A and B are shown apart, each in its own frame.
Chain A
Amino acid sequence: MSEITDSNFEKASVRDTAFRVRMRRFFGVLQRLTSNPTTVVGLVLIALMLAMAIFAPWITEANTPDAYQMPRDWGAVRKPPGTPGHWLGTTNEGGDVFYGVIWGSRTSLQLSLYVVGSTMVIGTIIGSVAGLVGGWVDEVLMRIVDVFLSIPELIFALAIAAVLGPSFTNIIIALAMVIWVKYARIMRAQVIQIKQNDYVDAARVIGDSKLNIYLKDILPNAVTPVTVQATLDMGNVVLIGATLSFIGLSEAGIAEWGVLVSEGQAGIASGRWWASTFPGLMIFLWALAFNLVGDGLRDALDPRTEGR
């Protein structure tokens, strides 16, 4: 028989437990991910910004009573960067830009986690139901999705947020309502494609339950594009959220990058560039980092390169 008889490999795999082999596969993906320099840049940026969000109370003293409100130092308004106590300057209302940059990362992390987390779950469930059940259920669900997709994301989110009234929570709700359709679409296409595979039929012939077939055969093979999309959306959501904040759909005075850019933009003409630039740079870096990692993840999880 013409088989791969690398005796060392065989001995090694006899000793392997299933757990170790699975870990090795996981590390293989990780290795492919980190072999791409732009992905590593993205990962480092994400790590830094996550550290910023997590350690915010230790980096700058939390404002009381609400840490997400900008502290106001009315004695030091419109100070340029380098002012002692206000390293990145202050805003028109005496808000510390450095505080806004640091705590803004927390706000952004919350925004993206809530939106992406909830839409991923909702979209996956709805897409799976449409793909698995098919027929008129699929037809109805997908027509609803089409209605949502026919309106541009930003315009739609803006309309919802405007109806709900200006608040940061409403931005989260508006974005979640707009974005779930993407996951439903992706998931439905994946499920329809994967459920036609012979290994699904093989599981049916064995007599395994429908739930088990979905959880063991369909879902694990379908999630790759959803994971990639979720990573990209972690960045995009912050971008759209900042846009909505910028046009005033968030509460004023909140430590949010979009709000800060909005508040600082009036001063740019008078030479006070810092109040808008630093939060704007953060939005840029955040979106860039997740897009870099998302692209890298897409390549690393590509089945054509995996394990061949």
Chain B
Amino acid sequence: MNSAPKPESATSEVLLSISDVQKYYPIREGALQRVAGHVRAVDGVSFDIRRGETVGLVGESGCGKTTLGRVVSGLTDATGGAVHYNLDGTLSQIDHLQDLQARQFRRNCQMVFQDSFASLNPRHLVLDIVGRPLRVYNEASSGDLVERVVELLEQVGLGRQHLYRYPHQFSGGQRQRISIARALALNPEIIVLDEPTSALDVSVQAQILNLLNDLQAERNLAYLFVTHDLSVVRHMADRLVVMYLGKVCEAGETQSIFAAPHHPYTRALMAAKPDLDDDRAGENVKGLDGIVPDPARPPQGCRFHTRCEMATPVCGWEVDDVVRWLEDEPGMFEHLSGVERQSEFNAELAFDSEEAAAKLSMAIRSESVPAAMKSALKRLKLDGHKVDIEFEAVDEVQLTARDGGRLASCVLDPDEVAAKSQ
């Protein structure tokens, strides 16, 4: 499970390029199914995958990593942006490919799914499952199909004795091997691995990861490794892309990100994963608090500021933050009768009594709200049973280039991030 950094990876050619990919799902409401908004599952993500390298795509559930994996493999169409694939030296947009080129892309980009049981047709024998890609492309005559399938099975550590069995006769690890054999059948250049080991025992996980590493070395495969498990990705990925709420918040070489994360979210993710050989063992590490905000209404500024330990006044505090904070305050949220927004940063909160309104304006000046939020406050005016609130308007925090080809979207310097987390 030891992946030495590949020296040529930085210079070798780009195999697949994702540029500003968006995937919005419409939210429909009412009898007429009017579109009331969009869930921004993937909201403008860009990165490249080079030949023979493993890119780890990490994030919590619901951050859009699986959706992005499906867009890359061509299962789902992006609603914006494009995925380009290197076909014979030129980058071509995958949803504009015609006949032969479409086939060429289809053969070269394969996928392994998380649920090994659901991804194998329960009525098909292993021979049918692994041999199917070969049949689709007339790669093997019925005579040597069996031999070709046996060859593939042997590459993933199975054998001839497994040919005529149904998926339910195998263990989870073996089924995942069958999935991998199917993905290998057409000799692809890239495999999208969608949480391939999440459903497996730890010991079996290690076997599958080793197998994937061996196959990569033999065939110069590229992997897009989608996972929430940082310890897995640490051993597998050459480069990491960390996603939060549909956006990339940090990207770069795996080693350097693990050595010093530049984004507080990456740091929190790493802290949330207790590591056995960590020298901080026994110490209580601060993990991630709170819930992921609604991706249909992503927070302003930095999307992570609502849960960030080291949020500053310029991180994008907004009206929604006050409402969210109110939700946890007993005796006040019940009295909130309406929110009239001028913008995301400016609104009038109406209460059903003047007393409650006064209580809010007192509370916001007290110590019970986050200090950063308090100092981002530009105006707070109590007017009868209404409270007028205005925050400093902030633009979305963009990804910026850092040392060593790193990218991160945080208003803080890496040193500050490191210092604040001590």
- The answer to whether B168 and A307 touch across the interface, beta carbons within 8 angstroms, is yes
| Interface flag for A21 (CB, 8 Å) | yes
- The answer to whether A21 and B136 touch across the interface, beta carbons within 8 angstroms, is no
A interface, how many residues as a size bin? 35 or more
Partner of A202, one of B119, B122, B127, B169: B119
Q: In angstroms, how far is the closest chain B Cβ from the Cβ of A29? A: 12
Partner of A221, one of B115, B122, B166: B122
Q: Restricting to B118-139, which residues have a CB under 8 Å from any CB of A?
A: 118-125, 127-128, 132-133, 136-137
Interface centre among A204, A205, A216, A303 (most CB of B within 10 A): A205
Nearest B residue to A11 via CB reads B161
Point out the residues of chain A lying under 8 angstroms from B111, CB to CB: 201-202, 205
Point out the residues of chain A lying under 8 angstroms from B168, CB to CB: 307-308
Partner of A21, one of B110, B125, B133: B125
Point out the residues of chain B lying under 8 angstroms from A22, CB to CB: 125
| Interface flag for A269 (CB, 8 Å) | no
Point out the residues of chain B lying under 8 angstroms from A203, CB to CB: 121, 132
Binary A-proximity of B69-90 (CB < 8 A = 1, otherwise 0): 0100111000000000000000
Give bound CA distance, A307 to B169, whole Å. Answer: 8
With A21-B164, A25-B166, A208-B136: A202-B207 Cβ-Cβ less than 8 Å:
no
- The answer to whether B136 and A199 touch across the interface, beta carbons within 8 angstroms, is no
| Interface flag for B106 (CB, 8 Å) | yes
Q: In angstroms, how far is the closest chain B Cβ from the Cβ of A203? A: 7
B interface, how many residues as a size bin? 35 or more
Binary B-proximity of A176-215 (CB < 8 A = 1, otherwise 0): 0000000000000000000001110111111111001000
Give bound CA distance, A2 to B204, whole Å. Answer: 9
Binary A-proximity of B91-120 (CB < 8 A = 1, otherwise 0): 000000000000100110111010100111
Binary B-proximity of A253-291 (CB < 8 A = 1, otherwise 0): 000000000000000000000000000000000000000
| Interface flag for B19 (CB, 8 Å) | no
Point out the residues of chain B lying under 8 angstroms from A303, CB to CB: 122
Point out the residues of chain B lying under 8 angstroms from A163, CB to CB: none
Listed by A's residue number, 8 A-B pairs whose Cβ atoms lie within 8 Å are A4-B171, A13-B161, A14-B160, A199-B120, A202-B119, A202-B182, A212-B136, A307-B169
Name 11 extra pairs, CB < 8 A, besides A2-B171, A197-B118, A207-B106.
A2-B204, A17-B164, A18-B164, A20-B164, A21-B164, A201-B119, A203-B121, A207-B137, A208-B132, A212-B136, A307-B168
